[in-house]
């Protein structure tokens, strides 16, 4: 079989793989994931704390510094700055990154979902 003859089969396999295993999620997907995973406790609006602090402007912010929110001592003393990489680690395992944090979330295991949420958070400025 020549390469030209196998191309239709390769294209079909690729199309199926993309449907079953979608690629990079977008910030728009992240907004929906934020709503379903984070919005119960966190707001995306500036200055609107809920059970947890607002996540408006969180990317690049030092942990424990959102105005008018009472953080745990662990979070205030963590020394963490919320870079995309640090957010990814935290969203995967909050208590592993900041032991004794008061956040009850157990973590988001899917790396593409975490990336989509982080991409969305980066738009909140």
- Alpha-carbon distance 82 to 90, whole Å? 9
- Alpha-carbon distance 96 to 116, whole Å? 21
Q: Kindly state the tokens that stand for 120.
A: 């969305």
Classify domain 24-123 at the CATH class level.
Answer: mainly alpha
Statement: residue 6 has pLDDT above 70: no
pLDDT digits (tens, 9 = 90+) for 12-57: 443 343 344 444 567 679 999 999 999 999 999 999 999 999 999 9
pLDDT at position 21: 44
pLDDT digits (tens, 9 = 90+) for 77-115: 999 999 999 999 999 999 999 999 999 999 999 999 999
- Alpha-carbon distance 48 to 80, whole Å? 22
- Alpha-carbon distance 53 to 56, whole Å? 9
Per domain, the residue ranges of the chain are 24-123
pLDDT at position 28: 79
pLDDT at position 24: 56
Statement: residue 2 has pLDDT above 90: no
pLDDT at position 1: 57
């Amino acid at each position: 079989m020549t390469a030209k003859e196998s191309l239709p089969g390769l294209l079909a396999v690729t199309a199926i793989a993309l449907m079953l295993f979608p690629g990079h999620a977008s910030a728009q997907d992240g907004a929906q994931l934020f709503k379903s995973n984070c919005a119960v406790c966190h707001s995306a609006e500036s200055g609107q704390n809920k059970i947890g602090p607002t996540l408006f402007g969180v990317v690049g912010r030092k942990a424990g510094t959102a105005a008018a929110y009472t953080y745990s001592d662990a979070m205030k003393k963590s020394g963490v700055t919320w870079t995309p990489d640090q957010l990814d680690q935290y969203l995967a395992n909050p208590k592993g990154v900041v032991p004794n944090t008061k956040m009850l979330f157990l973590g988001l295991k899917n790396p593409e979902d975490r990336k989509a949420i982080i991409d969305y958070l980066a738009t909140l400025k």
